[in-house]
Amino acid sequence: MKRPKTMTHEVVLLVALTLIIAAASYSIVEAIHLPLKKAVHDAEGVPVSWELHLKEGLKKYMETDSRVVRDKVISAAVDSVKNRLLAHVTDTTYKIDVIVVESDEINAVTFPGGLIVVFTPLLRLTSSPEELASVLAHEIGHVEHRDPLKQLVKEVGVSTVLSMVRGGKPEPMVEGVVKDFLDIQYTREQERAADQYGLRLLAESHINPANFGRFMEKLEPDTSVVGTEPVEIEYFSTHPNERSRIDSAYAAAKRFDRKTEVPINIDWDNIKRGLPSVFDDN
Amino acid sequence: MDLQENNAKGIVLPQPQELTEREKEDAMGAYLMMFAAWGAGFPFPLIGLVASIIYFYINKKSSSFTAFHSYQALLTHIPISLLNAAAVIWGVILFVGNAHHHVRVFAAFCTFAGIWNIIYMASSIIACVNARKGRFYYFWVSGRLSFAKYYCAPLVPKAVVDERNMPPEGM
């Protein structure tokens, strides 16, 4: 390259180089972001029927797990909370199932196709059925936005998802998917969209959105958890607990007409007492 | 600009064999110091910049060759420090403020700053080696500015020009 001969020439070259580097930097970041974009694009191409098929496989696998809580009173209470919400979910192609699983993690996980797994410590942390409803409403938001499928496609690729759907012997894969989903982290945009969906659904279901804020506040790091040993708040690590999200819940609560609030009549303390203790033998 | 051209313009440049070892080492030290300031000040880039300015002020009254390299190193270090400072401040605002907007733009800016830092390091190493050998090495823009400052100074001071007696205007 010929050396620049004047100051103007050098300034022009420097500006040009800066623009080229800026464009390259943006392209690099876009290229890194591309797999997620592609995953979203690919996930959108996956028919819902395949997702539902995958869910059935996951549900079948889960139901063989001895840690699934099968207590009829608890299941009825959770279903009652779920049904209050689902009565206001219109135009959905998913049938939402909620399973309660014994664990030592405070967490709730949503799998593709509308399978929501709530872990017992999270249930214990809720003070009312409305607080559980707030968590479920958020998770239903993920289901409706197909976030679990998008994350799964991002993690394992669309071809693996297809092979899981098409059968063979999917159990080892399903087991892997279940383990992956325990650590899955949605993007902030996905979380925020699920929050907005959940808060709207709560209001439509005549439940005060402040319940979501109250529950999220319990997940803040200084919260002490009942038990002899500290319990890791997995829900916190997989659902970024920003103050702004709590503020959004309280802002939605301000807009909510409290005259329309209808409590969920469940003796929640009784339900929580019926939960298996972490010290029980499985 | 070769020697003949320099001489034609009245600019006499010191040649490698004419420079003392001390001058060459101090000139090389300017770039090494900028490296040290860059590394030490990485979390707080503006503190590194202060260290660079101090080094320049220590060396600016030594030989023109050393002063030229010190000034060029400083001029190059300033935009890099500002770029790094902007990235750090932006990052802190995003982290402390829990802001989630423009994260990708921030990532692109960090990449942009990173590329410039690499270019800065690579060209500083080249300049450092050249300085040690007693050669001039010119960065774009800052090279010309430094050269103008130390080798194109007016032979007659401005104050002297202003004091000269002049005929009436138009005569």
Whole-angstrom distance, CA of residue A94 vs CA of residue A41: 20
Task: For residue A267, give its domain range.
Answer: 44-273
Q: What angle do CA B13, B19, B21 make, to 5 degrees?
A: 155
Which residues does chain A have with pLDDT short of 50? 168-170, 223-232, 281-282
Q: pLDDT tens across A149-174, in order?
A: 888 777 766 666 666 665 544 455 56
pLDDT of residue A237: 52
Interchain pair B141, A14: CB under 8 A: yes
pLDDT higher than 50, residue B160: yes
Whole-angstrom distance, CA of residue A111 vs CA of residue A115: 5
| CB atoms near residue A187 (< 10 Å) | 17
- Total domains in chain A come to 1
Q: Does A26 map to a domain?
A: no
Q: How confident is residue B4, by pLDDT bands cut at 50, 70 and 90?
A: very low
Interchain pair A22, B104: CB under 8 A: no
Whole-angstrom distance, CA of residue B149 vs CA of residue A74: 83
Cβ contacts of B109 on chain A, cutoff 8 Å: 25
pLDDT higher than 50, residue B1: no
Whole-angstrom distance, CA of residue A144 vs CA of residue A194: 9
- Please determine, for the modelled complex, whether the ipTM score is greater than 0.85: no
Whole-angstrom distance, CA of residue B24 vs CA of residue B32: 12
Q: pLDDT tens across B54-109, in order?
A: 888 988 888 899 999 999 999 998 999 899 889 988 888 877 765 556 777 888 99
Cβ contacts of B103 on chain A, cutoff 8 Å: 188
Q: Is the Cβ–Cβ distance between A10 and A4 less than 8 Å?
A: yes
Is the pTM value of this prediction over 0.80?
no
Q: Which two tokens stand for residue A169?
A: 């012997």
Interchain pair B111, A28: CB under 8 A: yes
Interchain pair B140, A4: CB under 8 A: yes
**CA distances to A92, A159, A206, A252, A256 from A260, in Å:** 24, 47, 6, 14, 8
Q: Does A15 map to a domain?
A: no
Q: Does A23 map to a domain?
A: no
Q: Does A203 map to a domain?
A: yes
pLDDT of residue A163: 63
Q: Which residue has the higher pLDDT, B59 or B8?
A: B59
Cβ contacts of A243 on chain B, cutoff 8 Å: 98
pLDDT higher than 80, residue B48: no
pLDDT of residue B10: 67
Contact with chain A for residue B103, Cβ under 8 A: yes
- Shortest Cα distance from B103 to chain A (angstroms)? 10
Whole-angstrom distance, CA of residue B35 vs CA of residue B40: 8
Q: Does A210 map to a domain?
A: yes
Q: Does A63 map to a domain?
A: yes
Q: Does A229 map to a domain?
A: yes
Q: Does A100 map to a domain?
A: yes
Q: Is the Cβ–Cβ distance between A32 and B111 less than 8 Å?
A: no
Q: pLDDT tens across B101-143, in order?
A: 677 788 899 999 999 999 999 999 999 999 999 999 999 999 9
- Residue for token pair 């539902």: A52
**Closest residue to A29, CB basis, from B111, B140, B141:** B111
Q: What are phi and psi of A108, to 5 degrees?
A: -140, 130
Q: Is the Cβ–Cβ distance between A156 and A101 less than 8 Å?
A: no
**Closest residue to B100, CB basis, from A10, A11, A188:** A188
Interface of A with B in 185-204 (CB under 8 A): 188-189, 192
pLDDT of residue B100: 58
pLDDT higher than 60, residue B154: no
pLDDT of residue A223: 44
Q: What are phi and psi of B27, to 5 degrees?
A: -65, -45
Q: Is the Cβ–Cβ distance between B38 and B48 less than 8 Å?
A: yes
Closest CA to A94 of A69, A70, A59: A59
Whole-angstrom distance, CA of residue A138 vs CA of residue A107: 13
Helix, strand or coil for residue A161? helix
**Closest residue to A244, CB basis, from B98, B103, B140:** B98
Interchain pair B108, A25: CB under 8 A: yes
Cβ contacts of A25 on chain B, cutoff 8 Å: 108-109, 111-112, 114-115
pLDDT of residue B106: 87
pLDDT of residue A282: 44
Interface of B with A in 108-147 (CB under 8 A): 108-109, 111-112, 114-116, 140-141, 144
pLDDT of residue B136: 92
Cβ contacts below 8 Å, chain A against chain B, sum to 44
Whole-angstrom distance, CA of residue A82 vs CA of residue A122: 16
Residues A265, A266, A269, A272: is their CA dihedral positive or negative? negative
Q: pLDDT tens across A5-56, in order?
A: 788 898 999 999 999 999 999 898 888 777 666 766 777 777 788 788 878 8
